[in-house]
Structure 1
Amino acid sequence: MPAKKVCIVGSGNWGSAIAKIVGHNAKGSNRFDPIVNMWVFEEMIDGKKLTEIINTEHENVKYLPGHKLPKNVVAVPEITEAVKGASILIFVIPHQFIGRLCDQMKPHIAQGTIGISLIKGIDEGPEGLKLISDIIREKLEIEVSVLMGANIANEVADEKFCETTIGAKNEANGHVFKELLQTPNFRITVVQESDTVELCGALKNIVAVGAGFCDGLGFGDNTKAAVIRLGLMEMIAFTKLFCKGQVSSVTFLESCGVADLITTCYGGRNRKVAEAFAKTSKSIEELEAEMLNGQKLQGPQTSAEVFKILKKRDMISNGSHGRGGGPQRKRRTMNGHLERREQLKRLSLDSSLVGYMDANKCIEELLKQLEEERRNVRR
């Protein structure tokens, strides 16, 4: 059987950290082609092309400075050239660009190619929720798994221990990805509830924005803990309502669920920018440009998509809807620093992500399901 050629679609902070793992594992396995292509959106850095810097210095000096990439990771500026001959695709780009990129890739995708999405976001489709993995699956006509977990990119690149979750509807594909991606310090669990895993990765960014508001407003750790707990309950409620497949409560106890939520609410960029948003009169776009070195926030965009999905189903509570008409209007009306702080205080204290299920009822349901699942395991 010929070795499987891998292409990483994306080269930001997270994409470069994953490239470090994939390059090392591919080089040490007969199952994978040792040369790993990494598609890079071309940029000029101090007069030099970013792809040239990566291929000569073996470092992504813009998005993952201080970390050497394996020499077998090759930066390619043209997406059609990067995916040529690849049988494994790893998607790690901002979710708002995935549709257009897949359209460019489609004529160059070989039959039997499989993909895995590390993209944390969702989209709005004609029938409501549209998962990023579904967009890839439909546009490229390939099987797609997902990887989500408590994985801050710099810590993964530093080889600090962490866990992650692969959601794979095709179990064999899940184990191929596990072999490609697992290291002694990057431990992987494979589950079949791919949709649940993916929604956890997307929705936690909204909760992280709320946690950042708490920090920026000086609400304290007790309030922040309440926001995280309520956010988790509403993530579960949203997933159970919109997920087409099975939703098991135990999946939320994997790294993709509660662990990723905690990490993001304390160490992620959505939290950091939301804190600055609450403390200043600057817009999200200004803070993103100032603080993220070219990276994109997922929380505000995902929040806007969730709002549209819920509004379409007439599931926006009167309280939150009446105070602003959605994320876009709120952003336009928050002109003064003091006015913004007062609006954020009201928003943090009495609005909700989903607004249709009481969080205490949801946690009672979660505990009942966990107990039932434990009984089934004992049998």
Structure 2
Amino acid sequence: MSEKAAVLVAGSWGTALASVLADKGLDVAIWTRNEAQRDEINTLHRNERFLPGVELGPNLRATTDMGEAVEGAKAVVIVAPSSAVREVAKSLKAYYRKDMLVVHATKGFEIESMKRVSTVIAEELGCEEGRIVVLSGPSHAEEVVKRYPTTVVVASLEDDQAAAAQDLFMNPYFRVYTNRDLVGVELAGALKNIIALGAGMSDGLGYGDNAKAALLTRGLAEITRIGVEMGANPLTFAGLAGIGDLVVTATSRHSRNWRAGFMLGEGKPLQEVLGSMGMVVEGIRTTKAAHAISEKFQVQMPIAAQLYHVLFEGLDPRTAVEALMGRDRKTEMEAMSLETWETWHT
């Protein structure tokens, strides 16, 4: 009998990761609240709303019963929107075992508490945060399900947990590296969505490649600055979870964050943008969290701050760009604190 893995929930990225596990020969149960989606996956082997035109493997089945999904699973992969992670983890608690590998691939924060997703999951499961693994990196679901070469990173505070997740997912088209910097990998995956929104907005305004290159470069500096302040290794932001994921999310039409930003740049109001997406745009929620986090840690995040004003205070995107371009003169390295550079070089 094949080993079993469970994936919670059946969005685009959850379905893509379930497909990776199914290709490894695992018996994969994917949990959804939607009965029509369950029936479509089980009878037609498709998930048309999230991954149109893709045929899923026969050893991937769906259920609306979380207990059925998780029973006997050696690993559980949580891929819920950040707004639903605590509720999903709370429901999982009844079936959680200490020998169960728990991986999450959600890129965001809990807005109310400003907590990272791994912290939220650990709280609800009643386990140490070191038992949680985060999977992140440059990886469009639309390409993963087509078995295009993809490389990601898994991070945990415990080496054996990261190694177990690496073994779980790695196959000929899905390469997995390990990293001990759970905080950095998690923050990089969440915060790059803000910069991807800004990149899409820049494209929607018609500002060209020069502006977008500058936005990505300075955006990465912002992400690194707040990440180091929160305990991350700055080198993580130069890796797959950092610059790798930033590039793929900020330059591709597969990216819902880029698409949302593009429509905002074209002048569409936020509610119209959200209504047309049909899926969660994590960068919008993350911008709100980052604004609060930057104030809490007293770290400047000018790009995130301007996006916050556009999204939640009605600032015109062109005015936001003018505000960024008109900031006081600085040296390029002035944006990094002395403590950051000392950390980098020790």
- What band does the TM-score fall into relative to the shorter chain? 0.7 to 0.9
Within a 5 Å distance, the mapping from 1:60-99 to structure 2 comes to: 60-99=47-86
Residue type of the partner of 1:308?
A: A
Which residue in 2 is equivalent to 1:176?
Answer: 164
Contact 1:233 1:359 in 2 (8 A): no
Counterpart selection for 1:263 from 238, 242, 248: 248
Which residue in 1 is equivalent to 2:117?
Answer: 132
Give the secondary structure class of the aligned counterpart of 1:63.
coil
Does residue 1:301 correspond to 2:285, yes or no? yes
Counterpart selection for 1:345 from 321, 327, 334: 321
Within a 5 Å distance, the mapping from 1:91-240 to structure 2 comes to: 91-124=78-111, 129-142=114-127, 143-240=131-228
What is the CA-CA distance between 1:145 and the residue it aligns to? Answer: 0.6
Residue type of the partner of 1:281?
A: K
Which residue in 2 is equivalent to 1:377?
Answer: none
What is the CA-CA distance between 1:265 and the residue it aligns to? Answer: 0.8
Does residue 1:289 correspond to 2:288, yes or no? no
Give the secondary structure class of the aligned counterpart of 1:295.
coil
Give the whole-Å Cα distance in 2 for the aligned partners of 1:317 and 1:239: 11
For residues 287-338 of structure 1, what are the alpha-carbon distances to aligned partners after superposition, in whole Å with 9 as ceiling and x for unaligned? 1331x3x3100111001011122234455689997x8xx83x744653xxxx
Residue type of the partner of 1:287?
A: V
Contact 1:59 1:69 in 2 (8 A): yes
For residues 49-106 of structure 1, what are the alpha-carbon distances to aligned partners after superposition, in whole Å with 9 as ceiling and x for unaligned? 1111100111112111222222111101133432233331101111110111222221
Give the whole-Å Cα distance in 2 for the aligned partners of 1:348 and 1:362: 14
Give the whole-Å Cα distance in 1 for the aligned partners of 2:331 and 2:126: 39
Structure of larger gyration radius: 1
Give the whole-Å Cα distance in 1 for the aligned partners of 2:111 and 2:313: 25
Give the whole-Å Cα distance in 2 for the aligned partners of 1:94 and 1:50: 17
Counterpart selection for 2:29 from 28, 37, 49: 37
Give the whole-Å Cα distance in 2 for the aligned partners of 1:303 and 1:75: 33
Give the whole-Å Cα distance in 2 for the aligned partners of 1:179 and 1:215: 39
Gapped regions of structure 2 (runs ≥ 5): none
For residues 318-373 of structure 1, what are the alpha-carbon distances to aligned partners after superposition, in whole Å with 9 as ceiling and x for unaligned? 9997x8xx83x744653xxxx72433333553579xxxx98623569778766x47
Counterpart selection for 1:273 from 237, 241, 260: 260
Which residue in 2 is equivalent to 1:12?
Answer: 11
Does residue 1:58 correspond to 2:34, yes or no? no
Give the secondary structure class of the aligned counterpart of 2:316.
helix
Structure 1 window deviating more from structure 2 (167-176 vs 195-204): it is 167-176
Give the whole-Å Cα distance in 2 for the aligned partners of 1:320 and 1:121: 14
Residue type of the partner of 2:5?
A: V
Does residue 1:360 correspond to 2:333, yes or no? yes
Give the whole-Å Cα distance in 2 for the aligned partners of 1:173 and 1:211: 35
Residue type of the partner of 2:13?
A: W
Q: How many residues align?
A: 339
Contact 2:287 2:304 in 1 (8 A): no
Give the secondary structure class of the aligned counterpart of 2:34.
coil
Give the whole-Å Cα distance in 1 for the aligned partners of 2:301 and 2:186: 25
Cα distance change on mapping 1:217 and 1:276 into 2, 3 Å: same
Cα distance change on mapping 1:35 and 1:137 into 2, 3 Å: same
* TM-score, reference length from structure 1: 0.81
Residue type of the partner of 2:79?
A: V
Give the whole-Å Cα distance in 1 for the aligned partners of 2:133 and 2:30: 19
Structure 1 window deviating more from structure 2 (250-259 vs 113-122): it is 250-259
* TM-score, reference length from structure 2: 0.88
Give the secondary structure class of the aligned counterpart of 1:66.
coil
RMSD over equivalenced CA pairs, Å: 2.9
Cα distance change on mapping 1:73 and 1:359 into 2, 3 Å: farther
Does residue 1:251 correspond to 2:248, yes or no? no
Cα distance change on mapping 1:166 and 1:350 into 2, 3 Å: farther
What is the CA-CA distance between 1:111 and the residue it aligns to? Answer: 2.9
Residue type of the partner of 1:55?
A: N
Residue type of the partner of 1:42?
A: N
Residue type of the partner of 2:183?
A: D
Give the secondary structure class of the aligned counterpart of 1:110.
coil
Cα distance change on mapping 1:182 and 1:312 into 2, 3 Å: same
